[in-house]
Chains A and B, each alone.
Chain A
Amino acid sequence: MENIQLLMHGFAVLFTVQNVGAMALGAVLGLIVGAMPGIGSLAGVALLLPLTYRFNPTTAIIMLGALYYANMYGGAFSAILLNIPGDSPAVMTALDGYPMATVRKRPGQALLTSNISSFIGGLVGMVILTFTGPALANFGLRFGPVEMTALLLVAMTSIGWLVGENPTKGLLLTAFGILLACVGMDTLSGSPRYEFGNIYLLGGISFTPFVIGIVGFAQVIKLMEERSLQVKAAADKLTLRGSMVTRHDLKRLLPPALRSGVLGTFVGVLPGAGATTASFMGYAAQKSFKSEEPLGSGAIEGIAACESANNAAAAGAFAPLLALGIPGSGTGAVLLGGLMMWGLNPGPLLFVNEPDFAWGLIASLFLANLVTLLIAWGVIPFLIKILSVPTRLLIPCITVICVVGSYSTSNSMYGVVVMFLSGIVGYVLQKARYSTAPVLLAFVLAPMLESNMRKSFIISRGSLGIFFEKPISLTLLVVLSAIVLFTAARPLLVRAGLLKSKGAGQ
């Protein structure tokens, strides 16, 4: 009850013209920044941060919070309409979003599904955050290197089976992603690996240009190839009404969104895990539930599961940030830097010393979530017009976006080179019917797995026993072996089952 009172107090703090204005501005900027491939929430928050030094801290963080939040909505737009993820969590959204918009010809519904799921996921995350804030943060702390290693092993093992129809290709691509992630300075000792004397490679392959290239620019090459034979089916349902979801759609959307909301919140709290891991886990979890259409073919459940998880994670990430001063993601780290610039000391005492600020921020997340939903809903009719843009215009436009996006991550041509090269790789993979999502996921997860695993071994002095001593990691290892054993045994089981049924039939 006390928390509800504090939250209400937070709303009271929030409702000044200045704060609401800042929030709306943050939400609009966040949508734009999120929808632009390459400029993720990290860059968005970092770019806006200097502008807010002169604000009072509450107003500033409300604006940045809204931007961070809206960004999670925006990332899905280009993923659904162009198959170019606006940010890394949207990699998963593209898997079902793009087929739903193009193959199933329901772009409006795909966007709306993503918006509503984002809203639900965010809401679930914020409710959990409001009631359990510090406890939630403490839960995250229990995931040390050992627990994270076990969790990541489960995630990485399942990539191949989850995405695409062929597990062998999936495994191969996972390995390829891990290999690419190894380039650059080793995370623990700082020794150079696979840098071939090149100073740029020393810093590793930057993720954003890599994603833009392998998904976005590969798409451009594909468009060029098909431009003559493709007859654009004009999207005829361009109105707000035409993009409404049906009651049945809503029924399909709700269970995965709620499930992923809870799951995503917890993943968001874990140190360093972030929204990409959450959206992947949400999608992975959905695989074990029933979906009306198979995942990957444009299923509403697929979009709902990952969009909800990714927004919930964004909310969850605020728990360690506010309760302990620990950033759960890169964006969190920039926000943390901001807190210090505004003269606030982030840390365990923030809730005690600056209740106005902390609860004002949480209240603003609630409101930003609602405002963003409405704004995003309103722009859908305009957005889906993108689909009716002729390919000959679309190609140069997307190319420009790809180049700008990959340049802006590190302000150098290195990003652009990475983008073009990975674009070619992505195109070749597509041609050979390999899905690019496993490469991207492995690329994101591998460095985390490596550093956590090596830290675990430092703690245990090289003993594997440590993974079995801790209850959380033991549980996760049981899950891992279940996944592996089940997959290995499935053909045998099927055969055994078939034999049995045949035998029974005769």
Chain B
Amino acid sequence: MKKTSAFVVLPLVLAIASPLFANGTKEAADSAFKPSKDIEWFVSSSPGGGSDIYTRMISDIMTRGDLSGGQSFLVANKTDGGGEVVRLQVSRVAAGAQADHTLLTFNSGDLMPMVKNTANRLENFTPIALMAVDKQLLYIGEMSKYKSFAEIIAAVKGGAKVVIAGSKGDDVATYELLVKELGFTQSQIAYITNDATSGAITSILGGHVDLVISKPAAADQYVVAGKLTPVLALSKTRFTGNLAGAPRLSELGAYKDVEFPVWRGVVAPKSMSPAAVAYWSRALKEVSESAAWQSDYIGKFKLQPAYMTSSETAAFMAEFQATYLKSIGK
């Protein structure tokens, strides 16, 4: 139990001691923003999920690297309305100290349902940074009828019907692109939406579907154990390591590579002050350059590092939103 008390006491000591240090550096950064109260960081999905781990990883690195100005991060998971409630709440925070101390985890899987189902738009937020990009692969299971993706293409052309299982949001979008590029219909290659990739993996392990779509992190252990085999890289370049065996679509015939990058970012209320935006953008840059981030997150979960500054992120997300809105005819 000693460890717990150290864990509780340490931030307290830091919090008490930080004003002392702040005085020493005051002249160096007089106009600059520095967190002066606890930071509320919202996550629109449940504890333990991908976005939650991402958020806690970043806040943990910030706290340890003294990037939070001695303040604590209060990570709050709010899932009402599929996350729309908290997104609306963050977008409406009034300018002031509260706005400067509010952050929201935001990825492409959040943006798509938001603009599809509500009137809330990216313009109601201030993008702070983009941190990483994830991509998917298709895997077969031990009990799958087919052994390669080329076999599957041939089988579907011969009249067979194939079922892919995957998660929500971005996985569905990738699947739709793939079916379109192959020139098949969605009844020739059908898709089953699961709440999370783990559900999709369960169904392929039991032999109930033919293929599963997953990001490398969720499937990693099953590939190591030989229970899943990657058969198609949904990327313009092949993956590395034990995923290197999976060909790109263009290697299998006269197709273009299919890729739908899943980006993971951080946004803030529209009303956040420019000084605070600059501060958080810089802090996230330091996180992205830290060894802990590189090895414990990017390396371990096989993501691609993709840090972007606030303005770069804003441009990137805006383009993404425009393309997506166009694709759903809104």
Question: Footprint of B on A, CB under 8 Å?
Answer: 18, 21-22, 25, 46, 49-51, 53-55, 141-146, 184-185, 187-190, 192, 199-203, 206, 271-272, 320, 324-327, 330, 333-338, 340-341, 343, 345-350, 410-412, 414, 455, 458-459, 461
Contacts and interface: CB of A to CB of B under 8 A. Distances in A.
18 contacts: A46-B48, A142-B206, A144-B208, A145-B208, A185-B117, A187-B195, A189-B193, A202-B84, A271-B199, A326-B205, A334-B48, A337-B49, A347-B224, A349-B221, A410-B78, A411-B76, A455-B203, A458-B191
Given A347-B222, A411-B76, A49 B47 contact: yes
B80 A203 contact: yes
A86 to B, nearest CB: 20
Contacts of B296: 343
A161 to B, nearest CB: 31
B171 to A, nearest CB: 12
A192 to B, nearest CB: 6
Interface stretch (B16-24, B52-60, B281-289): B52-60
Contact of B206 (A18, A141, A325, A412): A141
B198 interface: yes
A410 B84 CA distance: 13
A459 B78 contact: no
A458 B190 contact: yes
B88 interface: yes
Interface residues of B, number: 56
Contacts of B53: 337, 340-341
Interface stretch (B1-9, B238-246, B271-279, B307-315): B1-9
A145 B203 contact: yes
A-B pairs with lowest CB-CB distance, top 5 = A347-B221, A337-B48, A144-B208, A141-B206, A348-B225
B205 A324 contact: yes
Contacts of A411: 76, 78
Q: Which of B3, B78, B220 has the most CB of A within 10 A?
A: B3
A412 B224 CA distance: 42
A348 B222 contact: yes
Interface in B187-204: 187, 190-193, 195-196, 198-199, 201-203
Contacts of A187: 193, 195
B81 interface: yes
Nearest to A198: B81
B292 to A, nearest CB: 12
Contacts of A325: 198, 221-222
B192 A458 contact: yes
B305 interface: no
Contact of B48 (A188, A338, A458): A338
Given A410-B79, A458-B192, A349 B48 contact: no
B1 A21 contact: yes
Nearest to A345: B221
Nearest to A338: B48
A439 B75 CA distance: 34
B117 A458 contact: no
Nearest to A139: B206
B56 A50 contact: yes
Nearest to B190: A458
Nearest to B84: A199
B270 interface: no
A62 B52 CA distance: 22
B80 to A, nearest CB: 5
Interface of B: 1, 3-4, 6-7, 46-49, 52-53, 56, 60, 75-85, 88, 113, 116-118, 161, 163, 168, 187, 190-193, 195-196, 198-199, 201-203, 205-209, 220-222, 224-225, 227, 296
Given A337-B53, A411-B76, A55 B3 contact: yes
A185 B113 CA distance: 11
A51 B7 contact: yes
B196 to A, nearest CB: 7
Nearest to A21: B1
Contacts of B60: 53
Nearest to A350: B221
Contacts of A184: 82
A459 B220 contact: no
B3 to A, nearest CB: 5
Contacts of A271: 199, 202-203
A475 B297 CA distance: 46
Contacts of A206: 80
A335 B47 CA distance: 10
B193 A326 contact: no
A199 B48 contact: no
Nearest to B296: A343
A358 B78 CA distance: 32
Contacts of B198: 325-327, 333, 336
B25 to A, nearest CB: 29
A144 to B, nearest CB: 3
A412 B85 contact: yes
A232 to B, nearest CB: 39
A436 to B, nearest CB: 24
Contacts of A414: 80, 85
Contacts of A334: 46-48
Contacts of B4: 51, 54
Nearest to A339: B48
B48 A333 contact: yes
Contact of A333 (B1, B46, B77): B46
A144 B202 CA distance: 8
A190 B109 CA distance: 12
A192 B195 CA distance: 16
B229 to A, nearest CB: 14
A145 B202 CA distance: 11
Contacts of A326: 198, 201-202, 205
B133 to A, nearest CB: 20
Contact of B82 (A21, A185, A324, A349): A185
Contacts of A146: 208
Q: Which of B4, B113, B221 has the most CB of A within 10 A?
A: B221
Contacts of B209: 459
Contacts of A320: 202
A357 to B, nearest CB: 14
A461 B206 contact: no
Given A21-B1, A326-B201, A350-B221, 12 more contacts: A22-B1, A142-B206, A144-B203, A185-B117, A202-B82, A203-B85, A337-B52, A340-B53, A341-B56, A345-B220, A347-B224, A459-B190
A60 B192 CA distance: 35
A248 B281 CA distance: 70
Given A54-B3, A188-B193, A272 B199 contact: yes
B56 to A, nearest CB: 7
B113 A190 contact: yes
A30 to B, nearest CB: 17
Given A336-B48, A348-B225, A349-B221, A141 B81 contact: no
A114 B6 CA distance: 39
A204 B161 CA distance: 34
Contacts of B201: 326
Contacts of A143: 206
Nearest to B88: A199
